[in-house]
Amino acid sequence: MEFRYLGNSGLKVSEITYGNWLTHGSQVENDTAKASVLAALEVGITTFDTADVYANTAAETVLGAALHGQRRQSVEIFTKVFGPTGPKGPNDRGLSRKHILESIDGSLSRLQTDYVDLYQAHRYDYETPLEETMQAFADLVRQGKVLYVGVSEWTAEQLRDGAALAKQLGFQLISNQPQYSALWRVIEEQVVPTSKELGISQIVWSPIAQGVLTGKYLPGTSLPEGSRATDDKGGADMIKGFMSDKVLTRVQALKPIADELGLSLAQLAVAWVLQNDNVASAIIGASRPSQVQENVKASGVKIPAELLARIDDALGDVIERDPAKTHLSSPKTRES
């Protein structure tokens, strides 16, 4: 396992992060989830990402139990705040001071820890003044409940505004967590250049495009039983944008490139995002330990420039590059 600095900080993270969105507390039994976490530790992953909204807090509970007994200083635990939790009352979501300060205590209890290494604003909150949000994060840093602060799916302009306020308040934003894969490149035009300027790294989710880049979905055929595309707990909704025959046909054209590198298509997909020097870590999920053991082999892989060009040619016009797609990721209800 190789390690990278997270943003302009001294924090090192494993370049493969284990994430438990759509799995722990939902799709995967707790014993299997714990086995997958232990498999991640065995192959050198030290960084674990979750969120309070995953499975309505159950994912944090499962991760906390799975990591219980591990040396706390030897792992980096990331979680997030924004999404609706609990009974989903009017203050059970967003980035208000009330919701942030109450949410961190719940997360710490479920994760069985006194602090999180990285606390992330899961989306940009148009309903709360940014100054209020950043002040709440600053207070948590000073209280020692949060060591570092990051965000998720923020636009370049939002990153710039947030970083400026953080600096005024005596801390820094060090990370952004966007969707990024060979098929979904919307951060490249604006978010990545701005992040480099500000000292912010990307921790990317869905590097395998919800499983589409594994090549297991074949055009014109029925969906594999038990796959994410058949999951009625949220997985199918997330993957449907990639499930056209045109996309699936293009993905199959990546197989000869993966073969040249001695990689599976999934390993190629993870290795591809790690070629971007603004990416500190790629988040992988797992429904069984063997998936962790296989996908971690992408760490340290260097893809030659000519093969990167062939990947671009193979995927062609199914690559999504529109930077406006990032702006669409956050709900907007109070812009005036």
pLDDT of amino acid 332: 76
What is the pLDDT at residue 74? 98
Is residue 288 assigned to a domain? Answer: yes
**Residue 306 located in a structural domain:** no
DSSP strands (E only) in the chain: 3-5, 12-14, 16-19, 47-49, 76-81, 116-121, 146-151, 173-176, 201-204, 279-284
Is pLDDT at 241 greater than 90 in this prediction? no
What percentage of the chain carries pLDDT values higher than 90?
78
Asked whether residue 133 is domain-assigned, the answer is yes
In a domain, 241, yes or no: no
In this structure, the number of other CB atoms found within 10 A of the CB of residue 220 comes to: 7
Interval 116-137 mean pLDDT: 97
**Domain boundaries, position 100:** 3-209+276-301
Q: 110-139 burial, b if ≥16 CB within 10 A, otherwise e?
A: bbbbebbbbbbbbbbbeebebeebbbbbbb
- DSSP letters of 104-143? HHHHHHHHT-S-EEEEEESS--TTS-HHHHHHHHHHHHHH
d(CA 280, CA 270): 12
- In single-letter form, the type of residue at position 108 comes to L
**Average pLDDT value for residue range 190-212:** 97
Indicate whether 23 pLDDT > 90.
Answer: no
For this structure, is 115 an active site residue? no
Whether residue 321 contacts residue 183, with contact meaning beta carbons closer than 8 Å, is answered with: no
- pLDDT at residue number 270: 97
Instruction: Decide if 316 is inside a domain.
Output: no
CB under 8 A, 24+ apart: contacts of 233-241 = 233/22, 233/26, 233/27, 234/22, 234/26, 235/22, 235/27, 235/210, 238/22, 238/210, 239/209, 239/210, 239/211, 239/212
pLDDT at 237: 66
Residue 234, pLDDT > 60, answer no
Alpha helices in 3-50 (DSSP H): 30-42
Q: Is 108 left (phi over 0), alpha (psi -120 to 50) or beta?
A: alpha
pLDDT of 336 > 70? The answer is no
- Phi/psi at 61 (5° precision): -60, -45
For 164-173, what is each residue's pLDDT tens digit? 999 999 999 9
**Mean pLDDT over residues 13-35, rounded?**
80
Model pLDDT for residues 77-125, shown as the tens digit of each residue:
999 999 998 888 999 999 999 999 999 999 999 999 999 999 999 999 9
Determine, yes or no, domain membership for 265: no
Quick check: 132 pLDDT over 90?
yes
- Annotated catalytic residue: which of 5, 18, 54, 115? 54
Task: Give the pLDDT score at 140.
Answer: 98
Mean pLDDT of 130-149: 98
pLDDT of the residue at 6: 98
Query: 230 lies in a domain?
Result: no
Of 233, 248, 304, the closest CA to residue 23 belongs to 233
pLDDT at 312 over 80: yes
Question: Number of structural domains, the chain?
Answer: 1
Q: Is the pLDDT reported for residue 219 higher than 90?
A: no
Q: Could you tell me the sign of the dihedral formed by the alpha carbons of 35, 41, 44, 45, in that order?
A: positive
| 236 band by pLDDT with thresholds 50, 70 and 90 | low
336 in a domain, yes or no? no
Which CATH number covers residue 185? 3.20.20.100
